[in-house]
Amino acid sequence: MNRRIILRASVAIVSCTLGLAILMAASRATSESATAPSAKSAPAPPAAAESSCESLSTFASPHTTITSAQNVAAGAFTPPQANPAGAQAQSPFKGAPEFCRVAATLKPSHDSDIKIEVWMPPKASWNGKLKSVGNGGWAGTINYAELANALSQGYAAANTDTGHTSKPGEGPDFAVGHPEKLIDFSYRALHEMTSTAKLLVAAYYAKNPTRSYYAGCSTGGRQGLTAVQRFPNDYDGVLNGDPNNDVVRVQGMQVWTAKISHGDPSAYIPPEKYVVIHQAVLQQCDALDGVKDGLIEDPTRCHFDPQVLECKGPDAPSCLTPAQVKVVREIYAGPIDERTGKSMAPGLMPGSELGWAMLSGPKPGGLPLAADTFGTLVYQNPHWDYLAFDPARDFEAARNSIVGKMMNAVNSDLRPFFAHGGKLLMYHGWNDPAISPLMSVQYYESVVETVGGESKSTGSIRLFMLPGMNHCRGGDGPDTFDGIGAVDRWVETGKPPDRIVASHIKDGVADRTRPLCPYPQVAHYVGSGSTDDAASFACSTP
């Protein structure tokens, strides 16, 4: 394997003044946003009458240019570009109803170039609400599939490319020499999109949306938490999945996991051994919830020691060498400062082994994004080598860099968001092989503590952990559920969800359902009924 991540040559021209320029621009943007009224707190008055879609081409708003406004017939939309985010199939577009499609470019700074799209169904089928959707990776594209899904649910929908255009797999080179673009990506683009979308909705329907929601996972999860922290009045409810909100710790853990997996060739674990490890984990921990079903309901109760798999003789496909045993232990434990013994970030959970190729495989799929964060943004070094990663040094460097100061979304004081009735529904897959599920647990617990305990938080924030789910979706566990519906009911009724039924879909059919329980509760089998039926499980605190 190539031992060096080679970043694009253009990064080499970056000087140390980049970080200072970005921080100065960020300080200015934060100050401006803190004093400006939000779209929710100061909505534009609705137009006297409904507008036609085409008439929105003359819509006027500061630093906004409408580039297209046209009606799209039911099922007639074709995405203009490759759209990997949420687009496993073209079915969302085939089932999409008629809608008004508005595209705009926003320029809140001299170097901003934020593309947004707002999709609005006919008034007769509109539910009266706005749903914004998030992005993945470094963004750079419009998430058309999620726009179509929101539209099919009856919402007016909005999304942004976050201020730059890039292809899947490309890194943050867009930010090199362009501090305003990194601000747009980090937090400004979503806020500007939200404000403009509300104005367009008001102009088209002659009324403001009654509710505004946001839904996103991974990078989209970071975007959602950024919104409630920086712009608490933008949304009434947020559905937030597997968030990369603590970028420093998440991507530091990712780089460190790749390093320990590849730094010593004798310790490398071939992917075919992931199954061996996974089966051993299930053998020990599957039945902890009262039923053997291939899922670990609460991996924090699983204290698996890979020593049981150590080879008794030479290396073999069904066992682990002593060096491999050490790596498995380290993957579960996460990076540690060897000088102090302090945990720098949580590791992956027992049960996640089948997805370890993302960070530890022959070509780690999740590594380039994390390595680009350190090479391009932290060290501004095109030849930065992930194999030289040192937790004590590099976590601190990232925390003090533009990454920690701008991209991190770790503020636990959500009282301004909760004060106007805002609801935050978080979820995370226990088998996530990219972002430790404990990151969501730790953030949730920090919010509860900051706002004054469970009695003051339970009506405003809930966390649901999904057994067997990978990163945002997929895996052996139920991963399909109506999250935005749960958020909507919570906002409208004021009653938080105490149980959400999720399904596992196989060949288009649900072959298993299971209740998702609000953390720290877990589902346990009641002793009778099908173990593939949610009705056979109850939620309780361990």
Residues labelled catalytic = 218, 432, 471
What lies within 8 Å, CB to CB, of 136 at 6+ separation is 84, 85, 86, 143, 217, 218, 219, 220
> Are the C-beta atoms of residues 254 and 261 closer than 8 Å to each other?
no
Q: Give Cα 3 to chain centroid, integer Å.
A: 29
The three-class DSSP label of residue 516 is strand
User: CA 213 → CA 168, 365, 457, distances in Å?
Assistant: 26, 31, 19
* H/E stretch holding 68: strand 64-72
Buried b (16+ CB within 10 A) or exposed e, 159-179: bbbbbbebeeebbbbbbbbbb
What lies within 8 Å, CB to CB, of 502 at 6+ separation is 466, 477, 478, 479, 480, 481, 513, 514, 515, 516, 534
Going 518 to 487 to 439 to 302, the CA torsion angle's sign is positive
> Are the C-beta atoms of residues 113 and 107 closer than 8 Å to each other?
yes
- The amino acid present at 22, given as its one-letter code, is I
Cα 346 from Cα 348, distance rounded (Å): 7
Backbone angles phi, psi at 503, to 5 degrees: -120, 150
What residues form DSSP beta bridges with 539? 523
Q: Give Cα 512 to chain centroid, integer Å.
A: 25
